[in-house]
Structure 1
Amino acid sequence: MDLFNQDINVSPNLLPYGGTVNYYGQLFANPVADEYFDLLMNTIDWKNDEAFIMGKHIITKRKVAWYGDEAFSYTYSKATKTALPWTNELLELKHIAEQKTGTTYNSCLLNLYHNGDEGMAYHSDDERALAEHAAIASLSFGATRKFLFKHKESKEMISVFLEHGSLLVMKDETQENWLHRLPPTKKVLRQRVNLTFRTMVV
Structure 2
Amino acid sequence: MEKFVNQRLSKHCCSSDDAKTTSPRKRVKLLEDERMKWEEEEEEDEALAEFSHPVPWQKIESEGLDCDYALLFSKEEADRLFQQLEEEVVYATGEEAKVHVFGKLHNIPRKQATYGDAGLNYTYSGVTRSAYPWTPTLESIRNAVTKATGQTFNFVLVNRYKDGQDHMGEHRDDEKELDPLCPIASVSLGAARDFIFRHRDARGKQSQPRRQIEPVRLELAHGSLLLMNPPTNTFWYHGLPVRKKVLVPRVNLTFRRIAQDGKK
TM-score relative to the length of structure 2: 0.71
Provide the aligned length of Structure 1 versus Structure 2. Answer: 195
For 2:241, the aligned partner's letter is P
Q: Which has the higher strand share?
A: 1
Q: Which one is further off, 190-199 or 40-49?
A: 40-49
Q: Return the offset for 1:17.
A: 2.2
Q: Does structure 1 residue 9 correspond to structure 2 residue 56?
A: yes
1:27 to 68, 72, 78: 72
1:177 to 214, 229, 235: 235
Mapped partners of 2:122, 2:150: distance in 1: 24
Q: Does structure 1 residue 146 correspond to structure 2 residue 146?
A: no
Higher relative contact order, chain-length normalized (CA < 8 Å, sep 6+): 1
The unaligned stretches of length 5 or more in structure 2 are: 1-52, 202-210
Counterpart in the other structure of 2:28 = none
Q: Deviations over 1:26-73 (max 9, x none)?
A: 222212111100111111011243101223211224111111112211
2:214 to 134, 156, 160: 156
Q: What is the correspondence of 1:45-194 to structure 2 with a 5 Å cutoff?
A: 45-48=90-93, 49-153=97-201, 154=211, 155-194=213-252
TM-score relative to the length of structure 1: 0.92
Q: Which has the higher helix share?
A: 2
Q: Answer yes or no: is the 8 Å Cα contact 2:109–2:168 preserved in 1.
A: no
Q: Answer yes or no: is the 8 Å Cα contact 1:116–1:185 preserved in 2.
A: yes
Identity %: 38
Counterpart in the other structure of 2:253 = 195
Q: Deviations over 1:67-103 (max 9, x none)?
A: 1112211111111110011011111100000011110
Q: CA RMSD in A?
A: 1.4
Mapped partners of 2:254, 2:158: distance in 1: 6
Counterpart in the other structure of 1:3 = none
- Secondary structure, counterpart of 1:39 in structure 2: helix
- Secondary structure, counterpart of 1:186 in structure 2: coil
Q: Return the offset for 1:134.
A: 1.4
- Secondary structure, counterpart of 1:85 in structure 2: coil
